[in-house]
Amino acid sequence: MAVSLQVLYPILPDTTFDHDYYSATHMPLVNEHMGPFLLMVQASKGVAGGPDTPPDFYAIATMVFENQEKLSLAMQAAGPVLEDIPNYTNTKPQILIGEVIG
């Protein structure tokens, strides 16, 4: 069964996020180190939380893997990706691992 890893970057008081660095540097690191295990990866920049409502998240990255084993292998290779996080944000990422159901 396919599994997903979502990384959510919440907007909180006194937090920052560099979208240019994230797209130009961090996402290529994800592809370099975790790419061999991925079926798909995408990142979305938060622009709204609803009509006339600011977003709750700077960005959400979604990675899909064929199975739990591929996710585990990707996480073993993710050291440089994780070490890069302070280069573009000071918010604490939230993680959701799930079974892909649709």
Would you place residue 83 in the very low, low, confident or very high pLDDT band (cuts 50, 70, 90)? very high
Q: Give me the helices (H) in 4-96, please.
A: 19-21, 27-34, 68-76, 79-84
> Would you say 61 and 41 are in contact if contact means Cβ atoms under 8 Å apart?
yes
Report pLDDT digits (tens) over 61-81: 999 999 999 999 999 999 999
Report pLDDT digits (tens) over 8-52: 999 999 999 999 999 999 999 999 999 999 999 999 999 999 999
- Answering whether pTM is above 0.75, one says yes
